[in-house]
């Protein structure tokens, strides 16, 4: 199933992509599919981020090569931080940083959306809590991160979490290729088989500390190759079987 969220007559709604058409839903798909009889050509859809997040839970340094490029040792447990709802940005949405930001970085990642309330789950049960997988760019004001010596302000500026274009349960999360391109040039290339903490253990670790609600997002870390973006650049995050998340920096 390929889910997406779109704007219809100025109002957000969910839909299911079937070929080149989107069958619209009367409610988010967390409690099953409730079709409302609408059908829209995919080419005419204005897509929104496919989530209903109260929070985005992010994992830092989940690839050894990324930890090394930051000059750090690979952590022995997941390093978590949060992004707020204000960071959510749609596919094809513009990325804009305040004027005081000196370096704005891309970080291409695999993310997933929670399907039902999750608290203290067991690793073997993790798949029953995931609605689907999508692409996410964990946009980061790198100079602010270094200045503050912590991540909140640098990661939580408005629009700093573009995600999409679709949310799909038709991929297996182990062994997915992740490619980030800047103006058409490959700048990151990784594979989810290189996670330091795999998804079953990751979801169990997160839910031991906090409850995840339907629609919340977990994003799983970025491979090596992070770097700066400038106004006028186009950044793309492509993941096998999901599609291409494309955003312009203004």
pLDDT in tens, 65-77: 777 777 777 788 9
Looking at residue 74, what is its pLDDT? 77
Closest CA to 111 of 217, 206, 25: 217
The pLDDT value given to residue 120: 98
| C-beta of residue 49 within 8 angstroms of C-beta of residue 177 | no
SS3 assignment, position 205: helix
* 66 DSSP 8-state letter: H
Per residue in 77-115, pLDDT tens? 999 999 999 999 999 999 999 999 999 999 999 999 999
* Domains within the chain, CATH numbers bracketed: 2-47 (2.30.30.370), 49-249 (3.90.850.10)
Tell me the pairing of strands 88-89 and 161-168.
Answer: parallel
- For position 64, what pLDDT does the model report? 78
Confidence grade of residue 126 (pLDDT, cut at 50, 70, 90): very high
Q: What is the band of 122 on the pLDDT scale with cuts at 50, 70, 90?
A: very high
- Token representation of residue 60: 């830092």
The mean per-residue pLDDT over the stretch 147-155 comes to: 94
pLDDT at 199 over 90: yes
Q: What is the DSSP string of 132-201?
A: EEEEEE--EEHHHHHHHTSSHHHH-STT-EEEEEEEESSS-STT-EEEEEETTEEEEEEEGGGBSS-HHH
Mean pLDDT value across residues 167-178: 96
Quick: pLDDT tens for 6-64: 999 999 999 999 999 999 999 999 999 999 999 999 999 999 999 999 999 999 999 87
Pairing of β 243-249 and β 94-95:
parallel
If you search the block for the tokens 């408005």, which residue do you land on?
158
Helix H or strand E segment including 40: strand 35-41
Give the per-residue pLDDT at 156.
98
208-237 tens-digit pLDDT: 999 999 999 999 999 999 999 999 999 999
CA atoms within 13 A on the CB side of 55: 10
Q: Which pLDDT score, from 0 to 100, does residue 109 have?
A: 98
With beta carbons less than 8 A apart as the criterion, state whether 12 and 6 touch: yes
User: Can you give the pTM of this predicted structure?
Assistant: 0.96
């Amino acid at each position: 199933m390929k889910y997406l969220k779109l704007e219809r007559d100025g109002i957000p709604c969910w839909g299911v992509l079937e070929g080149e058409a989107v069958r619209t839903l009367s409610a988010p798909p967390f409690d099953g599919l409730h079709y409302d009889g609408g059908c829209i050509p995919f080419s005419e859809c204005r897509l929104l981020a496919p989530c209903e997040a109260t929070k985005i839970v992010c994992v830092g340094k989940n690839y050894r090569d990324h930890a090394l490029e930051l000059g750090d040792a690979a952590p022995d447990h997941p390093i978590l931080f949060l992004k707020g709802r204000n960071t959510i940005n749609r596919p094809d949405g513009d990325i804009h940083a305040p004027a005081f930001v000196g370096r704005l970085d891309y970080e291409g990642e695999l993310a997933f959306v929670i399907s039902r309330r999750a608290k203290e789950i067991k690793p073997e049960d993790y798949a029953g809590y995931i609605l689907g997988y999508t692409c996410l760019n964990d946009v980061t004001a790198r100079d602010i991160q270094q200045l503050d010596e912590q991540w909140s302000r640098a990661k939580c500026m408005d629009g700093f979490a573009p995600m999409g274009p679709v949310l799909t349960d038709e991929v297996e999360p182990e062994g997915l290729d992740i490619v980030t391109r800047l103006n058409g040039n490959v700048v990151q290339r990784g594979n989810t088989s290189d996670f330091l903490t795999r998804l079953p253990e990751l979801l169990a670790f997160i839910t031991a500390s906090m409850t995840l609600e339907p629609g919340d997002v977990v994003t799983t870390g970025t491979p090596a190759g992070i770097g700066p973006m400038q106004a006028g650049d186009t950044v793309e995050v492509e993941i096998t079987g999901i599609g291409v998340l494309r955003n312009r920096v203004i």
